[in-house]
Amino acid sequence: MKIGNLEFAGRPVFLAPMEDVTDAAFRHTCKRFGADMVYTEFVSSDALVREVDRTMQKLAISDNERPVAIQIYGKNTDAMVEAAKMCEAARPDILDLNFGCPVKKVAGKGAGAGLLRDIPKMLEITSAVVRAVSLPVTVKTRLGWDDGSKCIVSLAEQLQDCGVAAITIHGRTRAQMYTGTADWSLIGAVKDNPRMHIPVIGNGDIDSPQRAKEAFDHYGVDAVMIGRASIGRPWLFEEVKHYLATGNLPAPRPLGFYVDVLKQETLQSIARLDERRGIIHIRRHLAMTPLFKGIPNFRETRIAMLRTESVDELFAIFDRIVEMLGGGDAIPPTLC
């Protein structure tokens, strides 16, 4: 599969852009476990052109995470074009346009998935950005605004006509947010459209190696993108890649190995921020990791783990959990 001049062998697996999740530390970790391409957090075009410090920091990428895409969002064409040029100066491999974020503060203001209610504006923005930069421009969007407006098959053609190099489709409408199940049949319909010649990347509910294989086998997508399932579980990329290559799950590793990955993420987060803010940032990963699910009488330990602001205390809790569960015992990947 090719996106612009980028070539991806086999069945590529990408890390989805996620706000407050896909910072540099998490991107590096997912890359370590085999993610074929990673994306930054959402970058607001309006904030970028105003040179807001926190937004400018999101443009910081490094060569050891390539290929890497910067994703921008906004509803104003001029601001999106200016932001695209600023992103190009940061030297990402791809510039991605966010037409899929469903949250109220984005979609409710007409950006992200909000542009699914104004297709002409979406196409205007896309065409203008494609003309403004030399980078490959890609798009991430949804099936439509709601069940009554699932326009993705025709929309994908229109976006292709604007010059995008690939399209990622989340198999839900904006109205669904993240509820229900992703409808991959419409993603497959886009891929089956004989007029489509750009890569189609599928996204939504890829939470296991088996689901990833199904996406490739049944719907013919060129790549899959993993989002929420990777939070607190970056080793999922390794499991998926191994399963796609061999048809088998990788050999299990000790619990201590997985806990050490979470420790490394914590330390990277602290180095980027500070001890208190770094630990607060990592709490989402700890809350969502499947490592600690199903542990009997875990409630008090979980509360302590998610409340502490001390790295020493947090790591002591980790160590007690590993000792309690027998850290030398291997855990099957399906339980991680």
Q: State the pLDDT at residue 283.
A: 94
Q: State the pLDDT at residue 186.
A: 97
pLDDT over 80 at 333, yes or no: no
- Record the tokens describing residue 303, joined without a space: 């509360």
pLDDT over 80 at 328, yes or no: no
Q: State the pLDDT at residue 331.
A: 55
Question: 74-112 pLDDT, tens per residue?
Answer: 999 999 999 999 999 999 999 999 999 999 999 999 999
Note whether 160 and 153 are within 8 A (CB).
no
Q: State the pLDDT at residue 312.
A: 96
Question: 174-212 pLDDT, tens per residue?
Answer: 999 999 999 999 999 999 999 999 999 999 999 999 999
Amino acid at 203: N
Say which residues have a Cβ less than 8 Å from residue 183's Cβ, sequence separation at least 6: 143, 171, 172, 204
DSSP string over 109-172: TTSGGGGGG-HHHHHHHHHHHHHH-SS-EEEEEESBSSGGGB-HHHHHHHHHHTT-SEEEEESS
Catalytic positions: 101
Q: State the pLDDT at residue 177.
A: 94
Q: 319 to each of 31, 105, 301, 313, how far by Cα in Å?
A: 26, 39, 12, 10
Cα separation, 246 vs 238, in Å, equals 12
**Can you list the domains of the chain with their CATH numbers?**
2-246 (3.20.20.70), 253-335 (1.20.120)
Q: State the pLDDT at residue 329.
A: 55
CB atoms within 10 A of CB 289: 19
Reported confidence tier of residue 68, pLDDT bands at 50, 70, 90: very high
Query: Which segment of 55-59, 283-287, 320-324 scores lowest on mean pLDDT?
Result: 320-324
pLDDT over 90 at 38, yes or no: yes
**What is the pTM assigned to this prediction?**
0.93
pLDDT over 80 at 327, yes or no: no
Cα separation, 113 vs 274, in Å, equals 33
Q: Is 8 exposed, middle or buried (0-12, 13-18, 19+ CB in 10 A)?
A: middle
Reported confidence tier of residue 325, pLDDT bands at 50, 70, 90: confident
Which H helix or E strand runs over 201? Answer: strand 200-203
Q: State the pLDDT at residue 292.
A: 87
CB atoms within 10 A of CB 114: 22
Query: For all residues of the chain together, what is the average pLDDT?
Result: 94
Note whether 202 and 1 are within 8 A (CB).
no
pLDDT over 60 at 309, yes or no: yes
